[in-house]
């Protein structure tokens, strides 16, 4: 009888460990193996524009800047800043994009504010506030759709997704990584919640195709 109970308990623990490990892997607490464009014979996109004249094309510049931003390990917290851009250790998903573009010469606080004033009917904002409007997902989606390159939202078209692209979800936003999963689907560089362990994650399939509402390229 004791032997039978021991076998049952052992089997239960094995199954539990497998389930826990799968959950940890599924939700990116265990990092996934990363692949590059070369692994899928995809040519890396290089922009012909260098907005800030630093000798680095926009696409590469944005990706580099985003990586530099996440190295600061911002803590997730939604706050209002009179400076517009966060000037402390906190940030949210839109700040990943804002800082990535800012250091490439695209000041979203100014650009979004100008676009709102020129297209009030599209934004439908009752009270305009340049310090926060550019940090709202909905406003950024409208701005990018109005002013930059609109691309496919179909994840199966893996060649159309490049590191430095912007992806917008129903209530979230991030930057496409230059790393990919084993299917060729790119990883996402983002800041989603206070419990997030890694800023670069293999989550696009987990989020699902229907969650994606926009895919943009700056230049």
Q: List pLDDT tens digits, range 155-198.
A: 999 999 999 999 999 999 999 999 999 999 999 999 999 999 89
DSSP β-ladder status, 90-91 and 75-76: parallel
Identify whether residues 1 and 67 lie together within a single domain. Answer: no
Q: List pLDDT tens digits, range 4-63.
A: 776 776 766 666 666 665 566 566 767 779 999 999 999 999 999 999 999 999 999 999
Identify whether residues 46 and 149 lie together within a single domain. Answer: yes
User: In which order are the strands placed within the sheet that holds 186-189?
Assistant: 149-150, 212-217, 166-169, 173-180, 186-189, 200-201
Q: Tell me which residue has tokens 């904002």.
A: 125
Q: List the one residue out of 176, 72, 211 whose CA is nearest residue 85.
A: 72
Q: Any idea what the CATH number is for the domain that residue 191 is in? A: 3.90.1720.10
Distance CA 143, CA 128 (A): 14
DSSP β-ladder status, 149-150 and 212-217: antiparallel
Identify whether residues 12 and 60 lie together within a single domain. Answer: no
Identify whether residues 42 and 56 lie together within a single domain. Answer: yes
Expressed as residue numbers, the domain containing 56 is: 33-217
Identify whether residues 133 and 178 lie together within a single domain. Answer: yes
Identify whether residues 14 and 76 lie together within a single domain. Answer: no
Per-residue pLDDT band at 125 (split at 50, 70, 90): very high
Identify whether residues 75 and 22 lie together within a single domain. Answer: no
DSSP β-ladder status, 166-169 and 75-76: unpaired
Judging by beta carbons within 10 Å of its beta carbon (0-12, 13-18, 19+), is residue 218 exposed, middle or buried?
buried
Report pTM: 0.89
Structural domains counted in the chain: 2
With beta carbons less than 8 A apart as the criterion, state whether 134 and 113 touch: yes
């Amino acid at each position: 009888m004791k032997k039978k109970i021991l076998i049952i308990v052992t089997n239960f623990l094995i199954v539990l460990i497998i389930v826990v490990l799968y959950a940890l892997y599924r939700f990116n607490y265990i990092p996934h193996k990363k692949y590059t464009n070369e692994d899928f014979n995809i040519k890396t996109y290089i922009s012909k524009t260098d907005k800030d004249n630093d000798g680095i094309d926009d696409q590469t510049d944005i990706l580099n800047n985003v990586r530099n931003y996440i190295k600061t390990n911002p803590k997730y917290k939604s706050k209002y800043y009179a400076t517009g851009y966060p000037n402390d250790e906190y940030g949210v998903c839109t700040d990943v994009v804002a800082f990535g573009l800012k250091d490439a010469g695209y000041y979203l606080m100014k650009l979004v504010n100008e676009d709102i004033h020129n297209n009030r009917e599209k934004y439908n904002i009752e009270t305009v506030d340049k310090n926060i409007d550019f940090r709202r997902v909905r406003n950024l989606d409208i701005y990018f759709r109005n002013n930059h390159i609109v691309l496919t939202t179909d994840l199966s078209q893996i060649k159309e997704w490049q590191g430095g692209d912007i992806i917008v979800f129903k209530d979230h936003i991030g930057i496409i990584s230059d790393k990919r999963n084993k299917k060729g689907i790119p990883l996402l560089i983002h800041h989603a919640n206070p419990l997030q362990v890694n800023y670069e994650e293999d989550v696009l399939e987990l989020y699902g195709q229907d969650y994606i509402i926009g895919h943009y390229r700056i230049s």
